[in-house]
Structure 1
Amino acid sequence: MRLKNIQYKLTLSILLVSAASFAQEKPEEKKTDKPTGALTEEIVVERPYKPVLADAAKIRRSPDLNSTKAMKSKLKYSVLDKKLELNSDIRQLQAQPLSLQIDRPLTHSYAKLGFGNFSTGLAELYLNTGPDEALQAGAFFKHFNQEGNLSKQQFSRQEIGIFGKSVLDKITLNGELGFDRNSTYFYGTMRDSIRPINANPEKQRYGTVSLRGELIKNYGENETSDYALKADGYLLSDKFNAKETSLALSGFYNKVWKQFNIGLNTSADFTQTKDSVSIGNHIFRANPYIKLQGPTYKLSIGVNLVQEFGDASRFNLFPAVTAEVPIVPEFATVFGGFTGNVNKSTIRELSNLNPYLNSNLAISNAVEKTYAYGGIKGNAGAGFGYKAMLFYKKLESMPLFRNDITRPERFNVIYDDAKVTGLEGEISVKISEQLSWLGRLNINNYNMDTQEEAWFQPDFRLFSNARFTINKKITIDGEIVVNDKTSALIYSGSQTPEIVKLKSYVDFSAGAEYLYKEKVGIFLRVNNIFGNKYERYLYYPKVGLNVIGGLNYSF
């Protein structure tokens, strides 16, 4: 039966193939009487093919759009049979052996000795217990003397003292006991002449014994309050039996509360001056304040209460307002303030400015009725700082020096009200440990009440200092002072006052130090290089170019 079916299928396949072959044969060309080249085939045009999908092949369901089943593709990994090498066996560090050469020990004391022209002598000695900052003690001694070409143009100064410092757990204690002696002669010389005003110039000498003590609370990271106490006292006398004693007690307390600082500065200053008469000049001060510091500003508001008592009594109340606002953080800050104060006049302060004072000086305190200022300060990098400030002062009883009528080589102290406007500027540059420079500028305009001029007060003053370390052995430095011309008032033979001008001057000095050996050095200092015999005060010319050289030893 199976064989018969195969025969039927074979016969049917042969018939189908034969039919397909016959269908592909071209139809016979129809003969025609038309000439050669005419149409010989019949073209049948049929409609284009249009596929139609049978109903049996259609998917009769809509897709499920809510299906969240994610397709997971089959991934194949080919893991390489390689071993990862880890260098986990770290070699143990070996200690660096110490050098057999012993480093130079740090020194904390030194001695200095020098000589120069104009019979100049210099000696210094500084002793300190060591590098322990928590416990310091020491002593110092300084001597300087010089003699010019004019009669009795002699200067001498000595300083000696002991000091100590102790840093405890919560407070730090500082103390110093010292003696200062400054002597000269009234060598005043007639102008344009070497002839002294007084044929036998008298000697003047100021000696001061001073004592200072201080207690300061140490800084604590979580502390909210600070305080300090300080005591200063001195006893001064001169060659003509003038004496002055002073004791000042001061302190401050500050409390931090949120962004506020609330505090009080206070002091009591008792000064007694005795010459032909005794003058009591005492001052009590109190400065309560409140400070507010934010991320972009600082503001302080307070008052200055100043009570003068003694031979004269006066109460003063001044505002004390200061503010700072950075315009470029860490680079430029605008600041300003408005305040007032009382500046005490003492023989000690006046003689430090001018040692050629007369006896029986008038003593009166200077009152800053108004002090308004404003400016800008900041840094331009780690080694560059600057400050520029404009100010206005209204002063009552501003002290001035004026030559005495009968003994013009001596100076009296007079007082006058004044209005002062000015500009102060400062620039400091520290390029590295090897090079630093500092410059200060002061420009003042004085408007006096009764006096014609602000005697011996320059309108312009410039100070500049630079220091440069060439290498480990050589260091050089230079200093320049420029002082504008000043005015003085003198009396001629007819007792008519006359204003004279003191020329402006430039004082340039330079020095060098050379480390000869490990602890021994050589120094050289040249002062007044331009040799200007200028007058800071009338009738008192300075010495010309002077040179000092010597040795220093550190230990």
Structure 2
Amino acid sequence: MKLNHIPYTLSFSVLLFAATSYAQVKPEEKKTDKPTGALTEEIVVERPYKPVLADAAKIRRSPDLNSTKALKSKQNYSILNRKLELNSEIRQLQAQPLSQAAVPPPLANYAKLGLGNFSTGLAELYLNTGADEGLQAGVFAKHLNQEGSLTKQQFSRQELGIFGKSVLDKITLNGELGFDRYASYYYGFSADSGKTIHANPEKQRYSTFTLKGELIKNYEENPPVDYALKADAYLMSDKFNAKENSLALSGFLNKVWKQFNIGVNTSLDITQTKDSASIGNHIFRANPYIKLQGETYKLALGVNLVQEFGTNSRFNFFPAITAEIPIVPEFATVFGGFTGNINKSTLREFSRENPYLNQNVGIQNAVEKTNIYGGIKGNAGAGFGYKAMLFYKKINDMALFRNDRDRQERFNMIYDDAKVTGLEGEVSVKISETVSWQGKVNINTYNMDIQEKAWFMPEFRLSSNARVNIKKKLTLDGEIVVNDQTYGVKYNPDPVMVKIKSYVDFSAGAEYLYKEKYGIFLRANNIFGNKYERYLYYPKVGLNVIAGLNYSF
């Protein structure tokens, strides 16, 4: 800084101080006559206000920063014993409930009566105690008769049964007593001669009394053991005094331990067949097993122990191994197995499949020595299921029907060893309660040991049925069966193999419900009118139609 500026700066400061002091002189004060140099005015200097707290109001104790004790204030509550409502808001309008009409009880009983061409008559009656699933009892009766255009081409069937069911706290009991009668004639018709083989065909009739009983343990969350017992008995006879009596007792025990199921299936079957000779065909079976079930697989290991006794005695030991592994959970599961068993032969089963049996048919059990199978099954949605399986079987003494040399309209039983390779497929579709459809196909190849063919056994068979319910008033259903060609033997006089043509059997029906209790129905069988032969010399009737009334109560 330059020093020659100091005098000017000092002079400017003195003048500024003097001006400031003059501005603070009170105007009402007057000058005195005192000599020059004495104070003649009172100067008051004002400063900004600064408050100062007195020492008496200060808190001289420092806070304790280490104290963690929480302050708990005492609170008093007054709990009301009723809910407070805010009435200031607009309340929601309440709909006036409609008076509900009484729901009618379900109709558990019905009667059906129908008539059709070929002198067809149909009658059915079903009576039940009601809708209580815990306690049920009832009775049913059925009758069907038909007469074709050929001599003595007549059929009739009657069924009668009484049943009961009781669900108790721990077990469920089921029982049924029944009677079945089927009558026909040996009306064998030869296409070569254009007439029946015998001018006056004989009548055949099978009568069977049945008794069934079942005891099942009810479901529990963690049961100590699961079990079930079942009894089946029947008395059968035909018009030529052939008889068969049977009593079968079966049951199982199963214990769950962690991921394992350990148990045994067992049965005792006592069957006596009497014709010109008496044959005792008794079987005891035991199937101990252990099953391992994880989240993504199932595996069962066991054995089939089968003891045959009676007229013939034989002990059999077979493996029983099965497995399942899902490849797409809930949609696709691959499965397979390796098993074996004894397939029991009875007069009752043979007559159900072919009622035109000869007298004194041979009874011999088939031995399924090897059964290897594998496939895939699953669901594609809630209403679609499927299954496809390949298998290979080695069977000793497989039963076959073959026409008798002397009475060609009758059939004997013959037995031969066979190797069977096949494919089975099933499809099931259900669209709510309105539409449902099922289909099944079987493709088999038979390699026989002695016989030229597996007589009357088709290598291809397709069956399918569908059902449609329209507004719970009209129900439509249809069924189709496609059977590949088969082979039989006729004698002229030497045995000659003949081909039996393939056939298609299509049937359909409709039922209309009128005012809940009354209904009408219409049924057409063999719509294509094919007089095909399932067995040699026994053509079926053509197109037959049945119409009638239903009544529910």
Task: Give yes or no for TM over 0.5.
Answer: yes
How far does residue 473 in structure 1 lie from its aligned partner after superposition?
1.2
How far does residue 89 in structure 1 lie from its aligned partner after superposition?
7.9
Write the letter of the residue equivalent to 1:117.
Answer: N
Write the letter of the residue equivalent to 2:337.
Answer: G
Write the letter of the residue equivalent to 1:256.
Answer: V
Q: Is the 8 A contact 1:322 1:338 kept in 2?
A: yes
Aligned residue for 1:402, secondary structure, equals strand
Write the letter of the residue equivalent to 2:479.
Answer: E
- Which residue does 2:530 correspond to in 1? 532
Quote the Cα distance in structure 2 between the aligned partners of 1:215 and 1:352.
Answer: 28
- Which residue does 2:540 correspond to in 1? 542
- Which residue does 1:464 correspond to in 2? 464
How far does residue 389 in structure 1 lie from its aligned partner after superposition?
0.2
Query: Over residues 198-228 of structure 1, what are the superposed CA-to-partner deviations in whole Å (9 max), with x where a residue is unaligned?
Result: 1110000000000000111101112132100
- Which residue does 1:318 correspond to in 2? 318
How far does residue 13 in structure 1 lie from its aligned partner after superposition?
6.0
How many pairs were matched up?
478
In the TM superposition, 1:438-453 aligns within 5 A as: 438-453=438-453
- Which residue does 2:502 correspond to in 1? 504
Quote the Cα distance in structure 1 between the aligned partners of 2:274 and 2:89.
Answer: 86
In the TM superposition, 1:323-342 aligns within 5 A as: 323-342=323-342
Write the letter of the residue equivalent to 2:189.
Answer: T
How far does residue 386 in structure 1 lie from its aligned partner after superposition?
0.1
Write the letter of the residue equivalent to 2:139.
Answer: A
In the TM superposition, 1:377-388 aligns within 5 A as: 377-388=377-388
Aligned residue for 2:12, secondary structure, equals helix
How far does residue 470 in structure 1 lie from its aligned partner after superposition?
1.9
* 1:523 has 2:521 as partner: yes
Q: Is the 8 A contact 1:150 1:194 kept in 2?
A: no
Q: Quick one: structure 1 residues 89 and 291, their matched pair in 2 at CA, closer, same or farther if it must change by over 3 Å?
A: farther
Write the letter of the residue equivalent to 1:344.
Answer: K
Quote the Cα distance in structure 1 between the aligned partners of 2:244 and 2:105.
Answer: 46
Q: Aligned residues: percent identity?
A: 74
- Which residue does 1:363 correspond to in 2? 363
Quote the Cα distance in structure 1 between the aligned partners of 2:397 and 2:99.
Answer: 68
- Which residue does 2:197 correspond to in 1? 197
Query: Over residues 250-275 of structure 1, what are the superposed CA-to-partner deviations in whole Å (9 max), with x where a residue is unaligned?
Result: 11000000100000000000000000
Q: Quick one: structure 1 residues 90 and 304, their matched pair in 2 at CA, closer, same or farther if it must change by over 3 Å?
A: farther
Query: Over residues 267-295 of structure 1, what are the superposed CA-to-partner deviations in whole Å (9 max), with x where a residue is unaligned?
Result: 00000000000000000000000000000
Quote the Cα distance in structure 1 between the aligned partners of 2:174 and 2:306.
Answer: 28
Query: Over residues 352-390 of structure 1, what are the superposed CA-to-partner deviations in whole Å (9 max), with x where a residue is unaligned?
Result: 000000000100000100001000000000000000000
- Which residue does 1:226 correspond to in 2? 226
Unmatched runs of 5 consecutive residues or more in structure 1: 1-6, 17-84
Q: Quick one: structure 1 residues 250 and 89, their matched pair in 2 at CA, closer, same or farther if it must change by over 3 Å?
A: farther
Aligned residue for 2:132, secondary structure, equals coil
- Which residue does 2:97 correspond to in 1? 96
Query: Over residues 292-346 of structure 1, what are the superposed CA-to-partner deviations in whole Å (9 max), with x where a residue is unaligned?
Result: 0000000000000000000000000000000000000000000000000001100
- Which residue does 2:309 correspond to in 1? 309
Write the letter of the residue equivalent to 1:523.
Answer: F
Please report the TM-score for the alignment, with normalisation by the length of structure 2: 0.84
Q: Quick one: structure 1 residues 384 and 200, their matched pair in 2 at CA, closer, same or farther if it must change by over 3 Å?
A: same
Write the letter of the residue equivalent to 1:285.
Answer: R
Write the letter of the residue equivalent to 2:297.
Answer: Y
Aligned residue for 2:405, secondary structure, equals coil
Aligned residue for 2:351, secondary structure, equals helix
Q: Quick one: structure 1 residues 93 and 392, their matched pair in 2 at CA, closer, same or farther if it must change by over 3 Å?
A: same
Aligned residue for 2:209, secondary structure, equals strand
In the TM superposition, 1:117-156 aligns within 5 A as: 117-156=117-156
Quote the Cα distance in structure 2 between the aligned partners of 1:353 and 1:87.
Answer: 82
- Which residue does 2:170 correspond to in 1? 170
Write the letter of the residue equivalent to 2:528.
Answer: F
How far does residue 147 in structure 1 lie from its aligned partner after superposition?
0.2
- Which residue does 1:513 correspond to in 2? 511
Write the letter of the residue equivalent to 1:514.
Answer: Y
Quote the Cα distance in structure 1 between the aligned partners of 2:324 and 2:446.
Answer: 28
Quote the Cα distance in structure 1 between the aligned partners of 2:195 and 2:104.
Answer: 56
How far does residue 11 in structure 1 lie from its aligned partner after superposition?
3.4
Q: Quick one: structure 1 residues 230 and 90, their matched pair in 2 at CA, closer, same or farther if it must change by over 3 Å?
A: farther
Aligned residue for 1:131, secondary structure, equals coil
How far does residue 105 in structure 1 lie from its aligned partner after superposition?
3.1
Aligned residue for 1:178, secondary structure, equals strand
Query: Over residues 418-469 of structure 1, what are the superposed CA-to-partner deviations in whole Å (9 max), with x where a residue is unaligned?
Result: 0000000000000121000000000000000000000000000000000011
Q: Quick one: structure 1 residues 269 and 89, their matched pair in 2 at CA, closer, same or farther if it must change by over 3 Å?
A: farther
Write the letter of the residue equivalent to 2:516.
Answer: E
- Which residue does 2:41 correspond to in 1? none
- Which residue does 1:216 correspond to in 2? 216
Quote the Cα distance in structure 1 between the aligned partners of 2:112 and 2:514.
Answer: 14
How far does residue 97 in structure 1 lie from its aligned partner after superposition?
3.1
Quote the Cα distance in structure 2 between the aligned partners of 1:474 and 1:261.
Answer: 47
- Which residue does 1:49 correspond to in 2? none
Quote the Cα distance in structure 2 between the aligned partners of 1:129 and 1:87.
Answer: 58
- Which residue does 1:396 correspond to in 2? 396
How far does residue 104 in structure 1 lie from its aligned partner after superposition?
4.0
Query: Over residues 519-541 of structure 1, what are the superposed CA-to-partner deviations in whole Å (9 max), with x where a residue is unaligned?
Result: 00000000000000000000000
Q: Quick one: structure 1 residues 409 and 133, their matched pair in 2 at CA, closer, same or farther if it must change by over 3 Å?
A: same
Quote the Cα distance in structure 2 between the aligned partners of 1:477 and 1:545.
Answer: 17
Please report the TM-score for the alignment, with normalisation by the length of structure 1: 0.84
Write the letter of the residue equivalent to 2:348.
Answer: R
How far does residue 10 in structure 1 lie from its aligned partner after superposition?
8.1
Q: Quick one: structure 1 residues 469 and 485, their matched pair in 2 at CA, closer, same or farther if it must change by over 3 Å?
A: same
- Which residue does 1:22 correspond to in 2? none
Write the letter of the residue equivalent to 1:114.
Answer: G
Query: Over residues 25-44 of structure 1, what are the superposed CA-to-partner deviations in whole Å (9 max), with x where a residue is unaligned?
Result: xxxxxxxxxxxxxxxxxxxx
In the TM superposition, 1:226-375 aligns within 5 A as: 226-375=226-375
How far does residue 239 in structure 1 lie from its aligned partner after superposition?
0.4
Quote the Cα distance in structure 2 between the aligned partners of 1:426 and 1:528.
Answer: 23
Write the letter of the residue equivalent to 1:487.
Answer: Y
Quote the Cα distance in structure 2 between the aligned partners of 1:98 and 1:270.
Answer: 62
Quote the Cα distance in structure 1 between the aligned partners of 2:185 and 2:284.
Answer: 37
How far does residue 98 in structure 1 lie from its aligned partner after superposition?
2.0
Quote the Cα distance in structure 2 between the aligned partners of 1:193 and 1:96.
Answer: 79
Aligned residue for 1:166, secondary structure, equals strand
Q: Quick one: structure 1 residues 533 and 95, their matched pair in 2 at CA, closer, same or farther if it must change by over 3 Å?
A: same
Aligned residue for 1:107, secondary structure, equals coil
How far does residue 506 in structure 1 lie from its aligned partner after superposition?
0.1
Quote the Cα distance in structure 2 between the aligned partners of 1:89 and 1:232.
Answer: 71
Quote the Cα distance in structure 2 between the aligned partners of 1:262 and 1:165.
Answer: 29
How far does residue 14 in structure 1 lie from its aligned partner after superposition?
11
Unmatched runs of 5 consecutive residues or more in structure 2: 1-6, 17-85
Q: Is the 8 A contact 1:224 1:257 kept in 2?
A: no
- Which residue does 2:485 correspond to in 1? 485
Quote the Cα distance in structure 1 between the aligned partners of 2:260 and 2:222.
Answer: 16
How far does residue 516 in structure 1 lie from its aligned partner after superposition?
1.9
